Structure 1
Amino acid sequence: MTVHVVTDSTADIPLEQAEASGITIVPLTVFFGDDAYSDNVELDNAGFYQKLQESKTLPRTSQPSPAAFQAAYTHLIEAGATGILSVHLSSGLSGTYQSACTARDTLDEQLKTVPIEVVDSQSISAGMSHAILQAAEKTREGVGLAEIKAYVVSEQTRSHILAVLDTLEYVKRGGRIGGARALLGNMLSVKPIVSLKDGAVVPVEQPRTRSKAYARIAQLVKEMEPLEYLAIAESNDEVGSQLASVLQTVYHKEIPRYKLGAVLGTHTGPGTVAIAAITMPKS
């Protein structure tokens, strides 16, 4: 059985790594005014954050169309796929998951003989990339579609995201404020720690400085142990290195670091750094 994995660009998996792992990435689109860029294809991490800081207006983001997913699914099926697992960012943050479902449901009848499982990760960035990379590894081992899907769904229930923002301004402007609205009164005087719940940004705590925020993140990571996996998603090298050095005082394994892409960066702003922690399965 030949199962293939599809995801979107908000997983923040580098294109070279995705290609080496046999993962198909369908990109979202970022608009600066009338200029459109394919996320992580035509606009990389450094280029995006430079534009974001220079732009007078907040960029817009757009989910892939069902046609884009259909093209990806059709290509894989015609290349011999006997099953497809399509894993995407939280449906509470984007219509990408729904686009993928629509694409699957409206494929030509002769292509529907190949099963396509579409999974709402309820996460984003490094919070879903580990499960996707592991799924791709399982396809190379010949594991079946149902078992791989079950693994991904199980891991996502154990996945936690914590992010430190320079400001809530971008979350506010992007309309993803959710339960974090209560923080707005202190927006300029804190380095808020936020998380995701039901696809919306929710407050965790409100440290006054970045160093205090990083120390608190390390403490929260320690409280989550035992961990199966820990990764950093960074808007730039400086904040990623700072957080990594603090985390290494409590976590002594390797900490992979990924670049936060344009879609998430649009809604969190420059200076954002996040961790994705996956706890060990309960015995």
Structure 2
Amino acid sequence: MADFVLTCCSTVDVSEEFLRAHAIPSIDFNYMLDDVWYKDDFGKSNTPRSMFAKMLAGAQATTSQVNVGDYIDFWRPLLADGNDVLHVTLSSGISGTYQSACNAASILAQEFPHQKLYIVDSLCASAGYGLLVSKLAQMRDSGMSIDQTRDWAEAHKTEVQSWFFSTDLRFFIKGGRISKTAGTVGSMLHICPLMHVAPDGSLAVKEKIRTKKRASKRVVSLMEETCHNGFDYTDEVFISHSDCLEDAQEVAKLIAQAFPKAQPAQIFNIGATIGVHTGPGTVATFWWGTPRKD
């Protein structure tokens, strides 16, 4: 039986059913559409399609991380029941939530001096963050202690390879990820920027590829170059998408053909917090491989 509780935030971008099946409590981020605040709650407040339709119609969108008080309220009942807690956060490279979590943990340490509350900065985003949490749940279930699991996470978290492309650059331009000039030219030429999560957890454009078909194939070749055991890869593959399921399914199909020993790719929706910044049309693919490089 597990000797600790593994928790995460809704920005893990897997499904609520996935977290429930793996006994992983989560806490919701928040986002705003045209001055109305919603929970990033796995699409219950707004389906991804509904949210993106509002954004495309001109709704102003912004996000808000989990604050210190919310973290305290989330963890206090778990600690009060005698549990140790290992929490994994969204990357500090794109959010301040890791620092908020650490501040909350410091406060609760005074209230629960005999309980462990560890915070791990995933240095990952979306379902890459989910891929890390999934692995830690497997370790918890195998009987590893909270200290062993935390130490493994810190040692191996940059082995999550995170690659994504988008067929709609409007919100990357709006968020400053891509310049207006480059985005306009890219849209005209059907260029799909191929981006990844850098070792420090920030986002970076790595290649500019013409057409999503070529971008999909390039993701598969990058997996070949970086994944554990090459074509003999046997671990999990997670894919998340922002209202472009067919594109995600195409990437999953290519991966299944190239890596027959890999576990079938699991496809999830990109949640509201990440989706506000990507907009629709983004496909992100995650696997275990060599530590990420700039």
TM over 0.5: yes
Q: Does 1:46 align with 2:39?
A: no
2:85, 2:207 → 1: CA distance? 39
For 2:166 and 2:60, locate their aligned partners in 1 and report how far apart those are by CA, in whole Å.
16
1:263 to 270, 273, 282: 273
- How far did residue 246 of structure 1 move? 2.5
Q: Distance in 2 between matches of 1:244 and 1:130?
A: 15
Deviates more, 1:33-42 or 1:245-254: 245-254
Contact 1:92 1:200 in 2 (8 A): yes
Q: Equivalent residue for 1:64? A: 66
Structure 2 residue ranges without an equivalent (≥5): none
SS of the aligned residue for 1:153 comes to helix
Shift of 1:97: 0.9
Distance 1:46 1:25 in 2: 23
Q: Which residue of 2 aligns with 1:275?
A: 285
Judge conservation of contact 1:58–1:266 (CA < 8 Å) in 2.
Answer: no
Amino acid at match of 2:242: S
CA distance in 2, matches of 1:45, 1:112: 41
SS at match of 2:280: coil
1:235 aligns with 2:245: no
Cα drift, residue 143 of structure 1: 2.1
- For the structure 1 residues 196 and 58, does the alpha-carbon distance in structure 2 shift closer, same or farther, using more than 3 Å as the test? farther
Which deviates further from its counterpart, 24-33 or 40-49?
A: 40-49
User: CA-atom RMSD, angstroms?
Assistant: 2.1
Contact 2:32 2:38 (8 Å CA) reproduced: yes
Question: Which position in structure 2 is the counterpart of 1:251?
Answer: 259
Residue equivalent to 1:216: 218
Contact 1:29 1:62 (8 Å CA) reproduced = yes
Give, in angstroms, the shift of residue 131 of structure 1: 2.1
Kindly state the Cα deviation for residue 93 of structure 1 after the two structures are TM-superposed: 0.5
Paired position in structure 1 for 2:202: 200
CA positional deviation for 1:77: 0.8
Cα shift at 1:251:
1.9
- State the TM-score, normalizing by the size of structure 1: 0.89
- Does the 8 Å contact 2:109/2:115 carry over to 1? no
Count of residues in Structure 1 that have an aligned counterpart in Structure 2: 276
Which blocks of at least 5 consecutive residues in structure 1 are unaligned? Answer: none
Equivalent residues of 1:174, 1:266 under 8 A apart: no
- 1:73 aligned residue: 75
Q: Deviations over 1:231-267 (max 9, x none)?
A: 2111232221122222233122311111111111111
Match of 2:159 in 1: 158
Deviates further, 209-218 or 246-255 = 246-255
CA deviations on 1:29-49 (whole Å, 9 max, x unpaired) are 010011111102423433333
Whole-Å Cα distance in 2 between the matches of residues 114 and 172 of structure 1? 45
Aligned sequence identity (%): 25
